[in-house]
Amino acid sequence: MALIVQKYGGTSVASTDRIKAVAERVAHYRNKGDQVVVVVSAMSGVTDKLISMAKEMNAMPAEREMDMLLATGEQTTIALAAMALHAMDIPAASLTGAQAGITTDGVHSKAKIKNITPEQVHALLDQGNVVIVAGFQGRTTEGQITTLGRGGSDLTAIAMASALKADLCQIYTDVDGVYSADPRIVHNAKKMDRISYDEMLELASSGAKVMQSRSVEFAKKFGVVFEVRSSLNHHPGTIVQESTPNMENVVVRGVSLDKNQAKVTLEKVPDHPGVAASIFKPLSESAVNVDMIVQNVSHAHGERATDLSFTVEKTDLAKATKILAELRKNIGYQEINTNENICKLSVVGVGMRSHSGVAAQLFEVLSETGVNILMISTSEIKISVVIECVQGEVALKAAHASFVS
Ligand code: ADP
Ligand code: ASP
Ligand code: MG
């Protein structure tokens, strides 16, 4: 008998028929004698719809109320999934994140899991139930409902698998596994049998939304091996695990495109110690994730001043500009410019640690494709460039063709 955690994403529970199909798959494992914990997302489109309704009420809705609202999406699915199993005479019980014992910090809309006390999950499993847990949500020690960031049901599943010491963690989605690029854009992308945590993490944090990046971080930290596979067939998926020497032979494992980035430029920022801290500390205290940063030391402005550009998630742009506008006098910059028409292209592979020339090859491909590079950043296993968004998909295909095909 194995303890299995299965997570079903939005498309996999998009309709009552899809939920019935999920129930059949769950029943298959349960009837083999396995204990099954199912983590579900909101039905496809529901979270977006709730967000747009909130925006109709208030352009900047209070984050506490937003979490209260968004948590209802997953709550609908858990109850429907339990009902579908009951109709098949399978005992099942649904639990909200709070009932499943998921305690988080108080950062609404991006809460971090502090700990999980899954007594109720264990008790229900021991009574023979399939346990269905609402993804993407938790509660603070004070009892406030929180959500874990977009795509956060992945994190619920990985964290649950870790807390329950599950034998297997399966992430069911609408593609057969992790590909060398988004298969919806790059049609000849290759499905991988295995990928390392580090590569999956870099791809996920660079726009490959097949896994939420924080969930991969969690899996790496706690050693949770998981499989990404399709809920629409029975093909083997992609195993995500610690890297093996074999994996290092591949220089570039995958390419990704992040369209959820925006560029902020502060013009004529005074060039003296402490200025960067006075800009980035308040942003980080408000949970705005800053990604690439470029500072030009410019003498053209006469007094020592510089232009500073950085990227934030599009969804954080309004918050970031509001914070920076309030700090303008303190920081002393002249002007703030924002650009939402950019995206970030990344090439990723652990093999880059021991191979050189990847950056040069990427720049050459982009130049041959007529793509202008606005910003560059590199890490040990990733090279990212910011480019105009209209050229994003062309650039992605060209990079994929050069490195992977
Ligand atoms: P779910 O609702 O199951 O969580 P998501 O929509 O969040 O599913 O993620 C699955 C989608 O991720 C796929 O439909 C695919 O278009 C996209 N995707 C982006 N990059 C990749 C990649 N490298 N491999 C597989 N899928 C990817
Ligand atoms: N429903 C949430 C979202 O759409 C969480 C998830 O699907 O994982 O982001
Ligand atoms: Mg997802």
pLDDT at position 302: 60
Ligand 2 centroid vs 380 CA: distance in angstroms? 30
pLDDT at position 137: 98
How are strands ordered across the β-sheet holding 194-196?
92-95, 130-134, 35-40, 3-8, 168-173, 226-230, 238-241, 194-196
pLDDT at position 301: 53
DSSP-assigned letter for residue 392: H
The closest-lying atom of ligand 1 relative to the alpha carbon of residue 208 is: 20
pLDDT at position 296: 80
Length of the chain: 405
pLDDT at position 298: 67
pLDDT tens digits, one per residue of 321-331: 999 999 998 89
Ligand 1 centroid vs 175 CA: distance in angstroms? 7
Cα gap 109→145, rounded to integer Å: 10
The closest-lying atom of ligand 2 relative to the alpha carbon of residue 153 is: 8
Extended beta strands in 318-388, E state: 335-339, 342-348, 373-379, 382-388
Show the low-confidence residues of the chain (pLDDT under 50): none
CATH placement of domain 3-174: 3.40.1160.10
Cα gap 269→324, rounded to integer Å: 12
Are residues 129 and 82 in contact, defined by beta-carbon separation less than 8 angstroms? no
Query: What are the residue boundaries of the structural domains of the chain, listed by start?
Result: 3-174
Cα gap 107→148, rounded to integer Å: 9
pLDDT at position 245: 83
> Best of 156, 175, 178, 253 to mutate for ligand 1, by most ligand atoms within 8 A of CB?
175
Are residues 403 and 347 in contact, defined by beta-carbon separation less than 8 angstroms? yes
Ligand 2 centroid vs 351 CA: distance in angstroms? 32
Ligand 3 centroid vs 110 CA: distance in angstroms? 15
pLDDT tens digits, one per residue of 156-208: 999 999 999 999 999 999 999 999 999 999 999 999 999 999 999 999 999 99
Cα gap 121→98, rounded to integer Å: 11
Closest CA to 97 of 71, 73, 122, 119: 71
Cα gap 107→151, rounded to integer Å: 16
How are strands ordered across the β-sheet holding 382-388?
254-258, 342-348, 382-388, 373-379
Which ligand is the nearest neighbour of the Cα of 151? 2
pLDDT at position 300: 60
Residues with CB under 6 A from ligand 2: 9-10, 41-42, 47, 73, 135-136, 150-154
Are residues 3 and 126 in contact, defined by beta-carbon separation less than 8 angstroms? no
The closest-lying atom of ligand 2 relative to the alpha carbon of residue 136 is: 5
Which pTM value belongs to this model?
A: 0.93
Ligand 2 centroid vs 43 CA: distance in angstroms? 9
